[in-house]
Structure 1
Amino acid sequence: MGLLYFNFKHNAFIYILYYMTILSANCIENEDVECGVLREKFANASAQFTLCAIDKSRPITICEKCVNTYVDVLDSFQNMSKAVDNGTSCFDKFVNQDRLQIVQILYDNSVDLWTRAKCNECYDSDNMIHNLTVSNKTLQFQTYYEDFTNCTSNYVDDFCSGCMKDYVKLDNYYKTISNINEKIGVCMDIVDIMNITWNLWSNNCCKYRRHNEYIFIGSSVGVLLFTILFYFILLFCKQKTAPTIIQQSRFFESLNIFRD
C-alpha cells in the first residue's frame, strides 16, 4: 500500500513537471510567434510605404496618398520595440544584435523620406502622428488649385485670358504659405503641384508676352544699329576741308617795295 502510494505520488509529480514543461514551452513558442508577427508586420509596412512612395513619385502625392502606410511603419516599429520575448526585448533581438541594422535602416529611411518631403507641413499633428488632420492652408491651396483646373478644363484652346484671375490667386496664395528662406517651405505635394502649374502656364500663356518682348528687343536693336551706322557714315563720308592760304596780291607787294 505504501509502495503504491509512493508510485502514485511519483507519477503525479512527473505528470505535473511534464505539463508545466509543455505549458512553458507553449508560452515561449507563443512569445516567439508574437515577435515574429511583429517583425513581419514591420516588414510589410515598410514595403508598402516604399511601394506607395515610388508609385506616387510623379506627380508627387506621397504626403497625401502614403500617410496611412507611413503610420503603419511607425506603429509596427514602436510595437516591436515594446514587445518582450522570453525576457528579451524583440527590439534588442532584431535590431541591437543585428550588425547590418536592417530593421533600423528601413525605419530610418522611411522617416527620412517623410521628413525630406516635409509632409508634416501638410497636416496639423500636434506632435501626435495618429492625430494627423489636413491643415487649413493645405485645404485652401487645394481649393484654389481645383478652381484653376476646373477653369482650364472649360477651355479647349486658349485658357490664358479666362483663367488669369484663378491663376494669379493660386500663385499669390502659394507665395504666402511658402518659405522663401528654405528650399522647401511647404510639403512637397504642394511644391510639385505648383511647379506643374507654372510649367503649364509658361508653355501656353507666356508666348504672347514673349512675342511682345521680341518686338521690343528687335526694335531696340534696330535703333542701336541704325545709330551706329549713321555715325560710321558721317565718319567716312565727311570731306576733309584743307586749310585756306591767303596769298598777297601784287598791289600789296608793290607797296612793300616802296616802303623798302
Structure 2
Amino acid sequence: MYKLYLLFVLCPIGILKANFEIYNHLQSNVFLQYNGEGYLFPYPNQCYEILDVFAQHASNLTLCSILNARPITVCERCVEQYVKFRDKYQELLNTTVNGTSCRSVFISHDRLNAVQEYHDNILSVWNKGKCNGCFDWNHGIPSLKNSTISFHKMFNDTMKCIVDNMYPQNNDVCNRCMQSYLQLDEFYKSLSSDSIGVDSVCMDIVDSMNATHSIWSKSLNCCKLRRTPEIVFLCCAGIISLLPLIYYMTVRFCGPIRDLPNVLKQSRFKQSFLRSVDNRSD
C-alpha cells in the first residue's frame, strides 16, 4: 500500500519535471531567436561550410583584383580565383541538405541579401572588364585564346624594340620600331568589329594597347612623323575646295560680260516679262 502511494505521488512529479525541461528548452530557443543569436530550427551545417569557403574565395578574388588594378592584369592573373568563386557560388545555389536548400537560406531571404549583393558587386568588376573574352572556355575551364597569346607576343616585341633603341642617346627609336608598332595596332583593331574594342575586347589587352599608344605618341613623340603627310593633304584639300570660289570670282570680275551692252545683260525672264506686257497693251 505504501509503495502504491509513492508511485501515485511521484509519477505526476516526474511528468511535470519532464514537461518543465521541455518548456525551458523551447523557451531558450525562442529567446535565442528573439535576440537574433540563433533559430528555433538551426540551418544545416553543410550550408554554412559552403558559405564559409565561398566567402574566402570572394575575399581572394577581391584582393587579386585590387592588387592587379594598375596596370590592368586582372583577367589573366585572377582567373583562378574567379573560377573558384564562380564554382563555389553555384554549389551554394544547388546544394540541398535534408530538404533544406542552401539557396533559400542565404539568397533573397531578407532585405539586406548580403550574399547576393556581394556576389553581384564582385562579379560586376570581372564582367565590366570583359575578362571572359581573354579565354576559351572548355567545360568551364579557361585557357588563353590564340588571339590573346598573339597580341601579347606582338606587344612584348614592340616594347622590347622601344627599350632596346631608346638608350643611350638614340633618337631613331621611332623609325626602328614603326613597323612593329603599326603591326600591333592593326592586330588590335582586328580583334573588334568597331576597331576600338572598348565594348568587346578583354580589358588586359585594352589597357596594354592604351599604354603603348601613350608611350608612342606622348613619351616618344613618334606621331610627328605622320604630321608632314597630313599637312600636305590638308593644304591640297583646302586649295581644291577654294577652286570653285576662285573660278566664280574670276568670271564675275574679270570675264567679258562686263564689256557687253546693258541690253544684253538683261535676263531672259525680264525680256519675256516685257514682251508679255507689250502684247497686252496692243
TM-score, length-scaled by structure 2: 0.60
> In structure 2, how many angstroms separate the alpha carbons of the residues matched to 1:216 and 1:187?
36
Is 1:133 the counterpart of 2:148? The answer is: no
1:202 to 217, 226, 231: 217
Is 1:151 the counterpart of 2:166? The answer is: no
Structure 1 position 84, deviation (Å): 2.9
> In structure 2, how many angstroms separate the alpha carbons of the residues matched to 1:50 and 1:71?
13
Partner amino acid, structure 2, of 1:64: E
Structure 1 position 111, deviation (Å): 2.5
User: Alpha carbons of 1:213 and 1:140: their partners in 2 closer, same or farther (altered >3 Å)?
Assistant: closer
- Aligned alpha-carbon RMSD (Å): 3.1
1:187 to 202, 212, 226: 202
Q: Indicate the residue corresponding to 1:142 in structure 2.
A: 152
Matched pairs, number: 195
Partner amino acid, structure 1, of 2:124: D
Is 1:165 the counterpart of 2:179? The answer is: yes
SS in 1 for 2:147: helix
> In structure 2, how many angstroms separate the alpha carbons of the residues matched to 1:71 and 1:98?
27
> In structure 2, how many angstroms separate the alpha carbons of the residues matched to 1:76 and 1:151?
44
Q: Indicate the residue corresponding to 2:263 in structure 1.
A: none
Query: What are the superposed Cα offsets for residues 58-89 of structure 1, whole Å, 9 maximum, x if unpaired?
Result: 11111111111111111111111222344311
2:57 to 45, 70, 76: 45
Please tell me whether the aligned partners of residues 31 and 84 of structure 1 are also in contact (alpha carbons under 8 angstroms).
no
Give the number of the structure whose alpha-carbon radius of gyration is greater: 1
Query: What are the superposed Cα offsets for residues 117-165 of structure 1, whole Å, 9 maximum, x if unpaired?
Result: 1111111115x32x21111111111111111112112121432111111
Q: Indicate the residue corresponding to 2:105 in structure 1.
A: 93
User: Alpha carbons of 1:215 and 1:165: their partners in 2 closer, same or farther (altered >3 Å)?
Assistant: closer
> In structure 2, how many angstroms separate the alpha carbons of the residues matched to 1:136 and 1:145?
14
Structure 1 position 178, deviation (Å): 2.0
Query: What are the superposed Cα offsets for residues 1-56 of structure 1, whole Å, 9 maximum, x if unpaired?
Result: xxxxxxxxxxxxxxxxxxxxxxxxxxx99941x22221111111111111211211
> In structure 2, how many angstroms separate the alpha carbons of the residues matched to 1:93 and 1:30?
8
SS in 2 for 1:60: coil
Q: Which runs of 5+ in 1 are unaligned?
A: 1-27, 218-260
TM-score, length-scaled by structure 1: 0.65
> In structure 2, how many angstroms separate the alpha carbons of the residues matched to 1:172 and 1:67?
27
> Greater CA deviation, 134-143 or 202-211?
202-211
Query: What are the superposed Cα offsets for residues 211-231 of structure 1, whole Å, 9 maximum, x if unpaired?
Result: 8978999xxxxxxxxxxxxxx
> In structure 2, how many angstroms separate the alpha carbons of the residues matched to 1:60 and 1:29?
44
Q: Which runs of 5+ in 2 are unaligned?
A: 1-40, 235-282
Partner amino acid, structure 2, of 1:179: S
